């Protein structure tokens, strides 16, 4: 089958290749890929940023989001059958959405939301799961709480804005001038154009900040939290809990804590908290999220659709910051936008 494979770690490590179709285990569903989408995590894995924690063996197929049609099921699979339209964020070490076929553990798969096309569904899993796991599982956001979402027009940000609003929060977001209208349409109550205004000068008393920018932006984010508030970073720095989540050797925990010592010390001095976040595959959560998409509470935001043979171009489009809003999708079909 045709696939895009990481031959070696680094910027030029991804290339087109012909590889064997995946083997299907007892608990697996084999999915004929209709569409996949690009995530910042693809670049990070391709570049080897997590190679001490996620031990992929090159060559391996890249791609963390997928939507398609089930073509075979393992002997222990009961909830899916051939012909089902599904979507998934396959678990770590079993990724491979940039291919014609992928075998996925049944626990990571969910029926595609009926209201979404396969291309739209491919844009959803990773960012929707991240939004759910941050807002519901970790922060336990309640009606009336205040949530700040940085980069609200991005793939993750646009999803978090919508889900936080659905949960009853007052939502503030930072974005550029061109996407102010978009984030308001997604439910943002307070929109700050980061090119004109410093969010830390106008916001205060927030329960949660989601930071996908890092550096000075993360440090400033701590200052808008109320006492006991939580800043969640998705680009780092990582902490010991991250190493534990991935089942890394125990010696890596203290190393991760060293990387985040400065920001955790700043948070403690302000009476707030910092945590690193790395999402996990979860088909049952995708079922819940699918109902929200079908109910109109959530909608995907798509920047552009590339044909599958232009996957490298799609990756470059994201890496070079040319995405205007939402996600970039690669499609096996001929329809492109």
Q: Is the pLDDT of residue 26 over 50?
A: yes
Cα 249 to Cα 9, 148, 238, 244, 246: the distances in Å are 22, 34, 15, 8, 9
Q: Which residues pair with 233 in a beta bridge?
A: 211, 276
Q: Average pLDDT of 86-100?
A: 98
Task: Name the pLDDT band for 255 (thresholds 50, 70, 90).
Answer: confident
CA gap 326, 220 in Å, rounded: 24
Could you read off the pLDDT of 185-239 as tens digits, one per residue? 999 999 999 999 999 999 999 999 999 999 999 999 999 999 999 999 998 888 8
Tokens of 154: 């991005």
Q: Average pLDDT of 127-149?
A: 98
Contact yes or no for 100/64 (Cβ under 8 A) = no
Could you read off the pLDDT of 32-63 as tens digits, one per residue? 999 999 999 999 999 999 888 889 999 999 99
Contact yes or no for 100/22 (Cβ under 8 A) = no
Q: Is the pLDDT of residue 334 over 60?
A: no
Q: Which residues pair with 5 in a beta bridge?
A: 15, 61
Q: Is the pLDDT of residue 292 over 50?
A: yes
């Amino acid at each position: 089958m045709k696939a895009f494979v990481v031959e070696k770690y680094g910027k030029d490590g991804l290339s087109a290749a012909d590889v064997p179709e995946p083997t299907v285990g007892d608990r697996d569903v084999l999915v004929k890929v209709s569409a996949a989408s690009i995530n910042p995590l693809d670049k990070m894995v391709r570049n080897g940023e997590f190679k001490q924690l996620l031990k992929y063996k090159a060559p391996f197929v890249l791609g963390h989001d997928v939507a398609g049609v089930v073509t075979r099921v393992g002997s222990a699979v009961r909830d899916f059958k051939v012909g089902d339209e599904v979507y998934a964020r396959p678990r770590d070490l079993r990724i491979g959405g940039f291919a014609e076929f992928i075998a996925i553990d049944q626990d990571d798969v969910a029926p595609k939301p009926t209201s979404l096309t396969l291309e739209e569904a491919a844009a959803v899993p990773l960012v929707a799961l991240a939004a759910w796991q941050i807002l519901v599982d970790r922060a336990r956001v309640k009606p009336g709480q205040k949530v700040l979402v940085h980069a609200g027009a991005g793939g993750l940000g646009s999803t978090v804005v919508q889900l936080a609003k659905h949960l009853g929060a007052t939502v503030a977001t930072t974005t550029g001038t061109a996407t102010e209208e978009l984030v308001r349409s997604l439910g943002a109550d307070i929109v700050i154009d980061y090119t004109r205004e410093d969010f830390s000068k106008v916001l205060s008393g927030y329960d949660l900040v989601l930071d996908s920018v890092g550096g000075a932006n993360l440090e400033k984010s701590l200052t808008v939290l109320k006492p006991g508030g939580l800043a969640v970073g998705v680009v780092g720095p990582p902490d010991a809990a991250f190493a534990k989540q991935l089942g890394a050797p125990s010696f890596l925990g203290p190393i991760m804590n060293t990387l985040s010592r400065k920001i955790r010390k700043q948070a403690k001095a302000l009476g707030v908290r910092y945590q690193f976040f790395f999402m996990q595959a979860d088909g049952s959560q995708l079922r819940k999220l699918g109902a929200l998409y079908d109910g109109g509470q959530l909608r995907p935001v798509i920047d552009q659709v590339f044909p599958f043979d232009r996957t490298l171009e799609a990756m470059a489009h994201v890496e070079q910051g040319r995405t205007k809003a939402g996600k970039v999708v690669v499609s096996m079909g001929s329809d492109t936008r």
